[in-house]
Structure 1
Amino acid sequence: MTESFAPGVRVRDLTVVYKTPAGELPALAGVGLTLAPGTITGIVGESGSGKSTLALSLLNAVQPPGRIKEGSVEIDGLGDVVKLDGEDLRQVRGRKVGYVFQAAQNSLNPLKTVGKQLLDLGRSHDVADLQALVRDARELLGRMGLDGARVLDSHQHELSGGMRQRVGIMLALVLNAHLVVLDEPTTALDMITQATILRIVRDVHHERGLTTLIITHDMGVAAEVTDSLAVMYGGRVVEHGPTTEVLGAPQHPYTQGLIRAIPRLSGDIDEARALPGRPPTLGTMPREGCVFRERCPLRMDVCDTVDPAPVTRGERTVACHAVGHQVSPPRRKEYA
């Protein structure tokens, strides 16, 4: 497949709720996001902001007690995956949309070699030529700096964290998926291995003509590989735009706070300032108003009662009352 087959993705008004003793509480609230074909989009935010829930929604893989309550996830060539179920949904997962899980060891079966798991994957998707599948897997692993034959003959415990992460990337790509989601691909890896994984992500993305989504809490990772960047807080996308613009001139006070909190290797080390307070949980999420207001230095009276609508100017979108009057009137509720 060439780059022209890289699919676009349009998330519209997506709401995901989880059943709790206090009722159904939203983990995502009316999220809109567009992934342009052939691009790498990053999603950043603190733990609990909804990043992984959004990523799982691309596979319609939110598990009970969670469910997708409203909205759509349109993927070119597949339609709205929220409406898929049964065999149609199973065929999408893996073959059409590849997913690399945050904890690579949790996605591998400790009782089977990588090769046996690869064959199981091929059989589950009715791959006719399993020998060709194994050859493709060896080639992919080799391009990622591994001995493909050895890795396929290994169990999970015989591989390092970086090797398991590369195995996860191989399994996500070997069926020729052209939309790939990577959930925290460099977590718990040393700096050299992180750099290797990011290089692999970039190279494979361009060579295979992918549309890629990377979930991360690391601004450095986002700056290194992404074309556009979405910032999430409290189950909402609060800012989105080209990565260089979002990181170079952040508009939302939450994005500004995240960047101020990054430790520096030179200059005044006291310039790094932690965000005050803590991010909301499902149980402490405000029922109305801006979800960031308790930690926001720009808080106004309207923030207590009105959830800020996303406002777009050029390629940038921001959802904040304090900066909304500085940009053009809001368009449809989406992030493009």
Structure 2
Amino acid sequence: MTTDSTAPGVRIRDLTVVYKTPAGELPAVSGVDLTLTPGTITGIVGESGSGKSTLALSLLNAVQPPGRIAKGSVEIDGLGDVLTLGGEDLRRARGRQVGYVFQAAQNSLNPLKSIGKQLLDLGRSHDVADLRALVRDAKDLLARMGMDGARVLDSHQHELSGGMRQRVGIMLALALNAKVVVLDEPTTALDMITQATILRIIREIHEERSLTTLIITHDVGAVAEVADDLAVMYGGRVVEHGPINEVIGAPAHPYTRGLIRAIPRLSGDISLARALPGRPPTLGTLPVAGCVFRERCDTRMEVCETAEPAAVVRGGRTAACHALEHSPAPVRRKEYA
């Protein structure tokens, strides 16, 4: 694990994000507490609809209607509580202090402008004095990612492949030297070789620039290649969090165990891989009481129907499951090793 005193820490406390629906305001993220240690890469995994992207957007205070941040705080060292910022202060924080790579890179690029013009627009909007230096840095970043920087800056988004657009997104997120970087599904819809390349680039740039990085993904295997810590989300809650080798090696929450069992295997006993039963909840089907995972859980108990489990903290790891409250620490199992 890499830690660096120049990288900022991020502390998310009691974060709740709700969306207005015909049935009233329903929580997409509910009471999340999560700490990103300075200089580390934290992965957040979970199925679609678990609240991962909504949590990530909260780091920019960018949840859009019909959603709203109902309560909580997002403290970033050197910036303060992002959720209290507004207007010009918030605009300047986005890009300067917090860089964001969106899930579909092409959706964050202007199809009518070249990449270079969009880079210059970004620099001007943040009062960058030396735009030539900004372009030089962008070309260097693109070259490090295996691309011809001058050609890419002269191109429009439709002239670039999906992998190239993803790398352009990473470049734009880093162009203003942000120290907190959020990547939302950075390898989705990319081939395996391109995925591996982008993950390697993320790790290298993270270490070189002393960043604090958050990677949102549904792919446990992919994030295991680069992350230091892993948070597992389900039904808008963080159900497990800790050092990634420990979480994957000895998962404490039944949902984490299910996600790991579902990873396809290329060797060993392939029968060990099996899909999670049932479907993840939607905003409209989230239970109002009890454990959000109980309908799909193979260790459910009577208390799971009525009481939400509290987070059990053991040796720097947390997991929210009633079965853990009176059980010994999880043991590393052979199939997870």
TM-score, normalized by length of structure 2? Answer: 0.96
Per-residue Cα deviation, 1:19-48 (whole angstroms, up to 9, x for no partner): 000000000110000000000000000000
Q: Is 1:30 aligned to 2:31, yes or no? A: yes
The residue number in structure 2 matching 1:221 is 222
Alignment match, 2:100: 99
Residue 180 (structure 2) aligns with:
179
Q: CA deviation at 1:3?
A: 4.0
Which residue matches 1:60? 61
Asked if the contact 1:318–1:324 (Cα under 8 Å) also holds between the matched residues in 2, the reply is no
Matched ranges for 1:295-314 at <5 A: 295-314=296-315
SS in 1 for 2:292: coil
- Code of the aligned partner of 2:51: G
Q: Name structure 2 gaps, 5 residues minimum.
A: 330-337
Letter in 2 for 1:216: T
- Answer yes or no: is the 8 Å Cα contact 2:182–2:215 preserved in 1: yes
One-letter amino acid of the structure 1 residue matched with residue 96 of structure 2: R
The match for 1:198 is 199
- Structure 2 residue 298 is matched with structure 1 residue 293: no
Report how far residue 222 of structure 1 moved: 1.6
**Residues 175-200 of structure 1: CA distance to partner in whole angstroms, max 9, x if unpaired?**
00000000011111111111110110
2:322 alignment counterpart: 321
How does 1:212-251 map onto structure 2 within 5 Å? 212-251=213-252
Distance apart, 1:325 and its partner CA: 1.7
- 1:5–1:209 contact (8 Å) kept in structure 2: yes
2:170: which partner in 1? Answer: 169
CA distance in 1, matches of 2:250, 2:11: 25
Distance 1:3 1:267 in 2: 38
Q: Is the 8 A contact 1:12 1:33 kept in 2?
A: yes
Q: Which residue of 2 aligns with 1:117?
A: 118
2-structure distance, mates of 1:236, 1:327: 23
2:251 and 2:112 map into 1 onto residues whose CA distance is 47
Q: Secondary structure at the match of 1:34?
A: strand
What is the SS of the residue equivalent to 1:31? strand
- Amino acid paired to 2:55: L
SS in 2 for 1:32: strand
Letter in 2 for 1:285: L
2:242/2:316 contact within 8 Å kept: yes
Matching residue of 2:335: none
CA distance in 2, matches of 1:263, 1:327: 29
Alpha-carbon shift at residue 327 of structure 1 (Å): 5.9
- Give structure 1 stretches of 5+ with no counterpart: 329-336
Alpha-carbon distance in 1 for matches of 2:116, 2:109: 11
Distance in structure 1 (CA, Å) of the matches to 2:290 and 2:223:
29
Counterpart position of 1:333: none
Aligned CA-pair RMSD: 1.1
> CA-to-partner distance for each residue in 1:86-141, whole Å, 9 max, x for gaps?
00000000111000001010010000000000011011111111111111111111
Identify the residue that residue 143 of structure 2 maps to in structure 1.
Answer: 142
State, as a whole percentage, how many aligned pairs show the same letter. 82
Deviations along 1:131-187, whole A, 9 cap, x unmatched?
111111111111111100000000001001111000000000010000000001111
Alpha-carbon distance in structure 2 between the residues aligned to 1:139 and 1:267? 43
The one-letter code of the counterpart of 2:24 is G
Is the partner of 1:177 in helix, strand or coil? Answer: coil
- 1:71 equivalent in structure 2: 72
Cα distance in 2 between the residues matched to 1:29 and 1:217: 19
Which residue is equivalent to 1:252? 253
Q: Is the 8 A contact 1:313 1:327 kept in 2?
A: no
Distance 1:237 1:173 in 2: 28
